[in-house]
Structure 1
Amino acid sequence: MELNTFANVRVLFFAKSRELVGEKETVINYPSRISTRRILNELLERYNSLSVISENLILSLNEEYLDINDDLIINLKTGDELAVIPPISGG
């Protein structure tokens, strides 16, 4: 029987996501084994203000992009760093 374990993950908000959330960073306690889609869904549930940019958000874990469309199961550990990156426009 496998016990659910959790990881305290540092979540960083950049640019427009920081503006919408109203904070630069936080710590969220996620299950250690979680799908990339569930990470996004839990962020949107916690910070519903992100919904206006949810279709274009990019997430990275420890500076590596996550493909939220693949719905991969990943293993998190305490101290991991999740970045919420809004759509980027260039000029």
Structure 2
Amino acid sequence: KREKEGFGQMMVKVRAFALFREILGKERDMEIPEGSTVLSLLEAIGSISPAFKEQAFDHSGGLEDYVLLMINKKRIDPVNDLSIPLAEGDELAIFPPVAGG
């Protein structure tokens, strides 16, 4: 049973909307290490897509507070919930700021 402990990979789906969709495409499956968090997934996306990183993260490397995130269609707090561990088959939806005013 040793091989199942840690270091495995899992697949998650990333869905992007509006501006982020233009950068990343509508959706992509990403293979990430088991136990990865929301933040580590976002950082992995940023390492693949500098344009996404530029839009979604501030200069200090923190996620911009206007980025809207949902895991499996449930909204999460981009400030407090980035450390949530993801599971095989989870879906992360990423929304840019919604223009208003």
TM-score by length of 1: 0.78
More displaced, 48-57 or 65-74?
65-74
By percentage of residues, which structure has more strand? 1
Higher relative contact order (CA 8 A, sep 6+): 1
| Per-residue CA distance 1:17-69 (angstroms, 9 max, x = gap) | 01122x21111011221222212211111111113321232221101223343
* Pair 66,45 (structure 1): closer, same or farther in 2 beyond 3 Å: farther
Structure 1 unaligned spans of 5+: none
Residues paired across the two proteins, number? 89
Give 2:15's aligned residue.
Answer: 12
Give the aligned residue type for 1:86. P
CA contact (8 A) 1:62 1:82 kept: yes
- Name the SS of the counterpart of 1:51 in structure 2: helix
CA contact (8 A) 1:14 1:24 kept: yes
Percent sequence identity over aligned pairs:
28
- Superposed CA RMSD in Å reads 2.0
Bigger CA radius of gyration: 2
CA contact (8 A) 2:67 2:94 kept: yes
Structure 2 unaligned spans of 5+: 57-63
TM-score by length of 2: 0.72
CA contact (8 A) 1:8 1:27 kept: yes
CA contact (8 A) 2:67 2:96 kept: yes
* Distance in structure 2 (CA, Å) of the matches to 1:68 and 1:37: 9
Give the aligned residue type for 2:83. L
Give 2:61's aligned residue.
Answer: none
Give the aligned residue type for 2:13. R
CA contact (8 A) 2:37 2:83 kept: yes
